[in-house]
A and B are shown apart, each in its own frame.
Chain A
Amino acid sequence: GENVEQHPSTLSVQEGDSAVIKCTYSDSASNYFPWYKQELGKRPQLIIDIRSNVGEKKDQRIAVTLNKTAKHFSLHITETQPEDSAVYFCAASDGTGTASKLTFGTGTRLQVTL
């Protein structure tokens, strides 16, 4: 089955700096890669996703890149703000059909300091 590894487990940046979180996956058949943000005690919320037919996607201060050959994808947050502080999870879909389970990384706790 799919295995997703995520690094780093914790990340502290100063407000205004950039943050990068990296994930690798094992199943070459995976073709959908979402990123979720989870604040303390709340539900995971989808912030951006990418499909395997594109290499990069951007939404305001958030971007995701995908390298299918190397089987890794990354989340980039620019101009970080205190409200970006949360736990971020990457995930990969096993690619079977239009709806399928996600395998999640272990999460990155991002702390944005003033």
Chain B
Amino acid sequence: NAGVMQNPRHLVRRRGQEARLRCSPMKGHSHVYWYRQLPEEGLKFMVYLQKENIIDESGMPKERFSAEFPKEGPSILRIQQVVRGDSAAYFCASSPSKGYTFGSGTRLTVV
């Protein structure tokens, strides 16, 4: 079992560009969560998805951010028109129930 796979590990974007972060959950896991971690801070919930459904997006900023988990393929977190404040580590987690396994994260740097 390869674990939760996230790519890319590091992503550099200029202000105004789009960032696409990918997450492949552990085999057999149907729940995917995205969290954001700002430098020196804790993890903040963004969105919870199951296949083809957004279950809870209460932590997602209202603009520029979107997430999907299609029937086939990885979950995608998309940030449009990135700004410097989007620079953070974005962690994906998957779970069959309540015990999370986190991926290694994508560290987004906006320059």
Contacts and interface: CB of A to CB of B under 8 A. Distances in A.
Q: Give the size range of B's interface with the partner.
A: 20 to 34
Which of B35, B96, B101, B102 has the most A CB atoms < 10 Å from its CB? B102
Given A44-B91, A93-B98, A104 B42 contact: yes
A45 to B, nearest CB: 7
Interface of B: 31, 33, 35, 41-45, 48, 56, 58-59, 91, 95-105
A99 B42 contact: no
21 contacts: A1-B58, A32-B98, A34-B100, A42-B104, A43-B91, A43-B103, A43-B105, A44-B102, A49-B98, A49-B99, A89-B42, A89-B43, A98-B97, A99-B48, A99-B97, A99-B98, A100-B98, A101-B33, A101-B59, A104-B42, A107-B42
Contact of B100 (A42, A102, A106): A102
Interface string A73-106: 0000000000000000100010000111111111
A64 B100 CA distance: 18
A45 B91 CA distance: 12
Given A34-B99, A98-B97, 15 more contacts: A36-B102, A42-B104, A43-B102, A43-B104, A44-B43, A46-B101, A49-B99, A99-B96, A101-B33, A101-B45, A102-B45, A104-B43, A104-B44, A106-B41, A107-B42
A1 B56 CA distance: 13
Interface in A46-83: 46, 49
A26 to B, nearest CB: 15
Q: Give the size range of A's interface with the partner.
A: 20 to 34
A75 B50 CA distance: 31
B88 to A, nearest CB: 13
A87 to B, nearest CB: 9
Which of A36, A43, A45, A102 has the most B CB atoms < 10 Å from its CB? A43
Given A42-B104, A44-B91, A46-B101, A101 B56 contact: yes
B45 to A, nearest CB: 4
A46 B103 CA distance: 12
Contacts of A93: 98
